[in-house]
């Protein structure tokens, strides 16, 4: 019975954790993003298919180094169990705008297990 209550408590935090992740991306804070990732995390987007936290952080740092500014604006955030779907507007260097759907899957410990990003 206690485990069920713990799971329910963790589920409540997934939307907040997703918002935190999107804000950390806007802040270009790869250290804090690393803290949010499961060691065996997976990142799939329109350019990458990367496994393991350290490799993902390398890719994230490369993104951050390639842009002066990046701003992730969640337009809508949906939750189904431990999965979050973020409808995002990403603005790069104050000019280029990209619509992206992020699907974040969380572990029961609240760590991000997978990130799947789809450009619209």
Count of the separate structural domains present in the chain: 1
Quick one: pLDDT band at residue 93, thresholds 50, 70, 90?
Answer: very high
The residue with greater pLDDT, 6 or 110, is 110
pLDDT score, position 14: 95
Q: How many CA atoms lie within 13 A of 45 on its CB side?
A: 16
Quick one: pLDDT band at residue 94, thresholds 50, 70, 90?
Answer: very high
pLDDT score, position 12: 62
Sheet of 70-80, strand order: 49-51, 37-44, 112-119, 96-106, 83-92, 70-80
pTM, two decimal places:
0.89
Q: Which residues constitute the domain of residue 105?
A: 2-119
Domain containing residue 16: CATH number: 3.10.450.50
């Amino acid at each position: 019975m206690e485990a069920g209550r713990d799971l329910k408590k963790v589920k409540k935090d997934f939307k907040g954790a997703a918002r935190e992740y999107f804000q950390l991306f806007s802040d270009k804070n790869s250290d804090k993003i690393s803290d949010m990732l499961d060691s065996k995390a997976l990142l799939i987007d329109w350019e990458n298919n990367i496994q393991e936290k350290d490799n993902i952080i390398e890719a994230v740092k490369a993104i951050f180094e390639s842009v002066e500014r990046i701003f992730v604006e969640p337009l809508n955030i949906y939750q189904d169990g431990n999965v979050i779907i973020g409808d995002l507007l990403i603005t790069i260097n104050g000019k280029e705008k990209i619509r992206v759907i992020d699907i974040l899957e969380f572990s029961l410990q609240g760590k991000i297990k997978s990130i799947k990003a789809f450009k619209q």
